[in-house]
């Protein structure tokens, strides 16, 4: 194992690694990230290893287990180098063919390529696939080129050169100035200027100081930080070491939620390797700078991602927030100056140091520089991780990258900013995505959750969903958050159950104000956002629920009914057989009727009724028409059939 004791050593080691590698040797890069593991990629990886062994190709083919390449909708993703052929939805069954055709015969297997659903065109390489085309993958782009557990792979791609540059050709102050000039803003939610935070921590009078990586990532559906920490842990670690040097501290922590076992494993491997190579520990790269890192597994509560709660958890206590009259950069872990940044924030640092603040500043908008990773989920064709330049429009993300809304449905809104974010209506999707623009719209960037909603989404129900999550996740330490969110949830529940009253909207607004102003931490401080933005853009939906007892989207069970239209029913028995509540009356040649007293409103009848009949209707805000008597039902079908 190489001992790297100087920048020249690092260059030499890099050259040796590259020299040992044959750039023309086929390498099969297989996603081994958590998402694809859930899809069964472990079996695909084993199948590749066995097939390669069976054909005695071990010396001729490399197999690389990589982190998430982002296109989760089409996992398991396999990229074959040096041509970078991208195969999607690969299963163990495809493996023998990939080896015999692509590796041995050099032929492309058409059926495993991306097919454009509109044009039918095939795409051989990642960069030709619309999902990837409009992205700017500065941070996750290297995931396919790096074995998540290989420091050599990272070094071969120029890894740790930013650290060498910072340690040997920049003073700590210059590093901070560069990060300030790049206008890097924190990716964990608030968008606070990173360089300013570092400077405040550096200037704090007490010693020792700490630097911390926040990989708690509690937002439901978000996995940006997991993908980076699992897939390219050295990028995060390099950023952290540079930050430690800039701030002047010698101990760091990487806080990873326990529910991310692969991220915990890979980051532990990275720390061990960095120590062994001389990139962590004493006298890093011979610079005289000492820095150590410990990996801390968090208990995985959403609130523990909040800065003061996370620091309390690091101290071994329950991860609850504490008052922040004094900022954590002055009094953080063990009351010492502590600088906490999000995974993605740290990952940006090597890029800024290597390429300079001017380069970084050329990407993005006036107030938001660089790229942002989003987890694009919900009612969108291409779900997955997308990295885009700041300033891109929501339309570009949803349609060009996300491929639009499934089933030709209409877009209704997009929710950004995690559970405390907000819903932006379809009419505003040409808005650019950056910290300030999203805040102006009443939402926020948050850490990068982006949930697409179609016309079948009830916005009151959505607000209720997020408040339900936040009620569960509130630590209960302060009354406004503990009691207030629950009160708001209760009102929303009444509204969705048809028990809403005049004045409920005003009460929700009043409670929002109090909770926002008086909560101990930003969990309560931002919790009313889902209600406030849905009220701002979809107030008519609240009013319909309250005044007309109607759910316009047809979602709230208490306000909807299913009804079989007698003139359309063909008595085909399908809904009658499929109804799990046995709520459908009828028979052969008898128009079917739903017994409303038994109906659980699961919607199965609507789903299974053949579209050519379209006999089942979902109605809201109006009484269900009375059923025909049995005799009439039988006659009507006969008449219908006779025609
Ligand atoms: C309830 C709550 C949960 C949070 N969870 C996270 C998280 O999981 N990851 C994260 O980086 N920041 C989270 N934050 C934001 C952190 O408090 C903090 O602002 C952030 O880690 C700072 O890093 P940055 O400046 O790089 O954004 C959370 C904040 C709140 C109020």
Query: Average pLDDT for residues 351-368, to the nearest whole number?
Result: 97
Q: Give me the pLDDT at residue 420, please.
A: 85
Task: State the pLDDT confidence band at 575, using cuts at 50, 70 and 90.
Answer: very high
Residue 323 reports pLDDT greater than 90: no
Residue 637 reports pLDDT greater than 80: no
Residue 588 reports pLDDT greater than 90: no
CA 291 to chain CA centroid, nearest Å: 31
Query: Average pLDDT for residues 244-262, to the nearest whole number?
Result: 97
Report the candidate in 543, 376, 378, 563 with the shortest Cα–Cα distance to residue 456: 378
Query: Average pLDDT for residues 607-623, to the nearest whole number?
Result: 95
Query: Average pLDDT for residues 374-391, to the nearest whole number?
Result: 95
Q: Give me the pLDDT at residue 53, please.
A: 96
Give the percent of the chain with pLDDT over 70: 99
Task: State the pLDDT confidence band at 597, using cuts at 50, 70 and 90.
Answer: very high
Q: Give me the pLDDT at residue 408, please.
A: 87
Query: Average pLDDT for residues 421-439, to the nearest whole number?
Result: 95
Q: Is the CB of 72 under 6 A from ligand 1?
A: no
Residue 419 reports pLDDT greater than 50: yes
What are the tokens at 162?
């930013």
Task: State the pLDDT confidence band at 640, using cuts at 50, 70 and 90.
Answer: low
Least-confidence region, from 93-102, 256-265, 548-557, 626-635: 626-635
Report the candidate in 638, 306, 345 with the shortest Cα–Cα distance to residue 481: 306
Residue 235 reports pLDDT greater than 50: yes
Q: Give me the pLDDT at residue 176, please.
A: 98
439 CA distance to ligand 1 centroid (A)? 16
Q: CB burial class (10 A; 0-12, 13-18, 19+) of residue 540?
A: exposed
187 CA closest ligand 1 atom index:
27
Residue 564 reports pLDDT greater than 80: yes
Task: State the pLDDT confidence band at 643, using cuts at 50, 70 and 90.
Answer: very low
Q: Give me the pLDDT at residue 384, please.
A: 93
Whether the ω angle into residue 76 lies within 30 degrees of 0, i.e. cis, is: yes
Query: Average pLDDT for residues 595-602, to the nearest whole number?
Result: 95
Query: Average pLDDT for residues 3-13, to the nearest whole number?
Result: 95
The CA distance from 268 to 149, in Å, is 10
Q: Give me the pLDDT at residue 440, please.
A: 93
Q: Is the CB of 619 under 6 A from ligand 1?
A: no
Give the percent of the chain with pLDDT over 90: 91
Query: Average pLDDT for residues 435-457, to the nearest whole number?
Result: 93
Find all residues with CB under 8 Å of 452, minimum gap 6, and list them.
376, 377, 378, 379, 380, 398, 402, 405, 411, 414
420 CA closest ligand 1 atom index:
1
303 CA closest ligand 1 atom index:
1
Query: Average pLDDT for residues 571-598, to the nearest whole number?
Result: 94
Q: Give me the pLDDT at residue 633, please.
A: 76
Query: 504 by DSSP, 3-state: which?
Result: helix
Query: Average pLDDT for residues 115-142, to the nearest whole number?
Result: 92
Q: Is the CB of 421 under 6 A from ligand 1?
A: no
255 CA distance to ligand 1 centroid (A)? 12
Give the side-chain half-sphere CA count within 13 A for 176.
17
Q: Is the CB of 418 under 6 A from ligand 1?
A: no
Q: Is the CB of 340 under 6 A from ligand 1?
A: yes
307 CA closest ligand 1 atom index:
17
Query: Average pLDDT for residues 619-635, to the nearest whole number?
Result: 84
Question: Using CA positions, which residue lies closest to atom 6 of ligand 1?
Answer: 305
416 CA distance to ligand 1 centroid (A)? 15
531 CA distance to ligand 1 centroid (A)? 21
Task: State the pLDDT confidence band at 243, using cuts at 50, 70 and 90.
Answer: very high
C-alpha distances in Å from residue 225, one per residue of 11, 162, 255, 325, 580:
29, 21, 11, 29, 41
Whether the ω angle into residue 82 lies within 30 degrees of 0, i.e. cis, is: yes
Q: Give me the pLDDT at residue 189, please.
A: 85
Residue 53, sorted as left (phi over 0), alpha (psi -120 to 50) or beta, turns out to be alpha
440 CA distance to ligand 1 centroid (A)? 20
Choose the residue to mutate in 186, 188, 309 for probing ligand 1, maximizing ligand atoms within 8 Å of C-beta.
188
What are the tokens at 283?
């006298």
Work out the mean pLDDT of the chain and round it to a whole number: 95
Q: Give me the pLDDT at residue 447, please.
A: 86
DSSP state, residue 548: S
342 CA distance to ligand 1 centroid (A)? 7
The CA distance from 147 to 157, in Å, is 12
pLDDT tens across 74-117, in order?
999 999 999 999 999 999 999 999 999 999 999 999 999 999 88
Task: State the pLDDT confidence band at 638, using cuts at 50, 70 and 90.
Answer: low
Q: Give me the pLDDT at residue 634, please.
A: 77
pLDDT tens across 448-489, in order?
999 999 999 999 999 999 999 999 999 999 999 999 999 999
Q: Give me the pLDDT at residue 551, please.
A: 98
Residue 134 reports pLDDT greater than 60: yes
Q: Give me the pLDDT at residue 626, please.
A: 87
What are the tokens at 33?
């990230």
């Amino acid at each position: 194992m190489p001992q790297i004791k100087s920048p020249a050593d690092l260059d030499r080691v890099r050259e040796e690694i590259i020299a040992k590698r044959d750039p023309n040797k086929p390498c099969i890069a297989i996603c081994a990230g958590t998402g694809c593991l859930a899809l069964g990629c472990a079996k695909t990886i084993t199948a590749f290893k066995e097939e390669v062994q069976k054909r005695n190709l071990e010396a001729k083919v490399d197999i690389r287990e990589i982190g998430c390449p982002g296109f989760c909708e089409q996992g398991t993703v396999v990229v074959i180098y040096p041509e970078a052929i991208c195969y999607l939805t690969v299963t163990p069954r495809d493996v023998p063919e990939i080896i015999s055709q692509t590796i041995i015969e050099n032929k492309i297997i058409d059926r495993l390529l991306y097919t454009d659903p509109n044009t039918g065109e095939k795409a051989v390489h990642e960069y030709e696939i619309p999902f990837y085309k409009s992205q700017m993958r500065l941070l996750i782009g290297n995931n396919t080129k790096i074995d998540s557990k290989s420091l050599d792979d990272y070094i071969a791609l120029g890894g740790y050169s930013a650290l060498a540059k910072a340690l040997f050709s920049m003073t700590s102050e210059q590093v901070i100035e560069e990060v300030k000039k790049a206008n890097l803003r924190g990716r964990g939610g608030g968008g606070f200027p990173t360089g300013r935070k570092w400077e405040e921590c550096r200037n704090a009078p007490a010693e020792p100081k700490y630097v911390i990586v926040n990989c708690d990532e509690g937002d439901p559906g978000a996995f940006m930080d997991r993908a980076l920490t699992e897939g390219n842990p050295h990028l995060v670690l390099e950023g952290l070491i540079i930050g430690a040097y800039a701030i002047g501290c010698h101990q760091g922590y990487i806080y990873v939620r326990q529910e991310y076992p692969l991220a915990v494993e890979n980051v532990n491997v990275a720390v061990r390797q960095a120590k062994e190579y001389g990139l962590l520990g004493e006298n890093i790269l011979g610079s005289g700078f000492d820095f150590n890192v410990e990996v801390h597994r968090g208990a995985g509560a959403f609130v523990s991602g909040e800065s003061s709660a996370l620091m309390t958890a690091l101290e071994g206590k329950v991860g609850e927030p504490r008052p922040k009259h004094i900022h954590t950069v002055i009094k953080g872990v063990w009351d010492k100056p502590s600088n906490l940044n999000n995974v993605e924030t740290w990952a940006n640092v090597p890029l800024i140091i290597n390429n300079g603040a001017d380069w970084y500043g050329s990407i993005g908008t006036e107030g938001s520089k660089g790229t942002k990773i989003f987890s694009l989920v919900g009612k969108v064709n291409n779900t997955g991780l997308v990295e885009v330049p700041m300033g891109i429009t929501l339309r570009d993300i949803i349609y060009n990258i996300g491929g639009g809304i499934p089933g030709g449905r209409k877009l209704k809104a997009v929710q950004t900013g995690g559970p405390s974010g907000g819903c932006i209506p379809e009419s505003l999707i040409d808005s650019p995505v950056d910290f300030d623009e999203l805040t102006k719209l009443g939402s926020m960037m948050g850490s990068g959750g982006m949930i697409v909603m179609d016309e079948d989404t009830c916005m009151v129900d959505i607000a209720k969903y997020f408040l339900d999550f936040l009620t569960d996740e509130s630590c209960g330490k302060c009354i406004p958050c503990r009691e207030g969110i629950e009160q708001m949830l209760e009102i929303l529940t009444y509204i969705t159950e048809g028990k809403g009253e005049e004045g409920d909207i005003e009460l929700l607004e009043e409670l929002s104000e109090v909770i926002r102003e008086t909560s101990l931490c930003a969990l309560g401080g931002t919790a009313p956002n889902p209600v406030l933005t849905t009220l701002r853009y979809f107030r008519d939906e609240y009013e319909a629920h309250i005044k007309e007892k109607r759910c316009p989207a047809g979602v709230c069970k208490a306000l909807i009914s299913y009804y079989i239209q007698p003139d359309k029913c063909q008595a085909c028995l399908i809904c009658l057989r499929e109804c799990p509540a046995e709520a459908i009356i009828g028979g052969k040649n008898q128009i079917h009727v739903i017994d409303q007293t038994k109906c659980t409103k699961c919607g199965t009848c609507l789903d299974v009724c053949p579209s050519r009949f379209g006999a089942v209707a979902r109605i809201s805000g109006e009484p269900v028409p009375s059923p025909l008597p049995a005799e009439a039902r039988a006659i009507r079908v006969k008449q219908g059939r006779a025609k």
